[in-house]
Chain A
Amino acid sequence: MKFVFKSALVVAMALSTGGVALAAEGGKTKLPAWQMQGDELEIAMNLKGDAKNGRDVYEVCAACHMPEGWGLPDGTFPQLAGQHRSVLIKQLADIRAQNRDNPTMYPFALPSQIGGAQAVADVVEYMASLPMSPENGVGPGTDLALGQQLYKDNCVRCHGENGEGKNDEFMPLIQGQHYEYIKRQFREIRDGARRNANPDMVKQVKGFSDRDLSAVSDYASRLKPPADRLGPPGWHNPDFD
């Protein structure tokens, strides 16, 4: 009896802690189980971001991801502009919690650099609202038929016909992303090196050869965002003039 009571108490406490962290008001986003991150960042998910303040927070990010949020076409840094809010928060949180290894970015994900939950919500609002690059890096274009078939069979269910992803389900938007970046992340996910990957995807791509991986990354890098989401070629973000 005593034991049962204790267990029930622990469960009740765990549930109430979870409830506080998730602030489960009607219709709010709930985090998937494979996600590990701090309470503060879970709260950020349900805060309303202020893009104007987010611009100031973004300044430190701009050194690598560029003022436009377009990253580098060679894939060293990914495009963040236009990415889903849930995905941006999750990746930032996971790098911060060292649930995704990124030694280059790690110091910039720390609260001492970018601030707490509200700052995260703000910077994410800013990044998500930036126009996207019309000239992202693409692959060699030599194996697109294979890439298309693989994409259709393996990727569409979560990332969408046109690589649009799903904000509600933490599925990244991959349209307009740089080829080399997609390929590198894909390889790390396949090989288990990207520890915060969705286990469904790890399972799905387990049998991919290196050729498969390059082909489908190339195909995905050629999926274009809708025209009204794109900035003009060579656009400079006037927020950082």
Chain B
Amino acid sequence: MKYLNKLTLAAMTVAGSLLVGGTALAQDGATLYKTKTCIACHGVNGNAPVLPTYPRLAGQNAAYALAQMKDIKSGARNNGQTVAMKGVMHLVSDDEMKAIADWLATVKP
């Protein structure tokens, strides 16, 4: 019984840390979205771009958003408004771009 209790506790701890991990990741994307200055142009929650020529990002497919970020960072995509974004892309790593893209996909447009 005691053993079972211990096991239960261990299982709960694992479940708990997984949950915390999940939350931390989601928060990470939201926080990065602010600290890496995405919010300046794309607006709160990716819902209010500062210019009509800038895209809304809330609810965007994560894989698409990530591919655009990577291409703008590398210069593979250099058309449209990318000149305004290129200058800040050194601020984000691949993992951070992914966290931001994953979070944006969860935000309600």
Output the least CB separation between A95 and chain B (Å).
12
Interface band, chain B? 10 to 19
* In contact, B85 and A113 (Cβ under 8 angstroms): no
Closest to B81 in A: A103
**Interchain CB contact (< 8 A) of A107 among B51, B87, B88, B91:** B51
Nearest CB in chain A: distance from B5 CB, A: 44
Q: Does B76 contact A (CB under 8 A)?
A: no
> Is there a chain B Cβ closer than 8 Å to A63's Cβ?
yes
- Nearest CB in chain A to that of B85: its residue: A104
Q: Is the CB of A103 within 8 A of B83?
A: yes
A144 at interface by CB-CB < 8 Å: no
Interface of B is mostly: helix
Q: A72 — which chain B residues lie within 8 A by C-beta?
A: 91
Contact residues, A103-123 vs B (CB, 8 A): 103-104, 106-108, 113
B40→A63 contact, CB < 8 A: yes
A101 to chain B minimum Cβ distance, whole angstroms, is 9
* Interface assignment of A76: CB less than 8 Å from any CB of chain B: yes
Give residues in B with beta carbon < 8 Å to A: 34, 37, 39-41, 50-51, 54, 81, 83-85, 87-88, 90-91
**Residue positions of A touching B, CB distance < 8 A:** 60, 63-64, 72, 76, 103-104, 106-108, 113
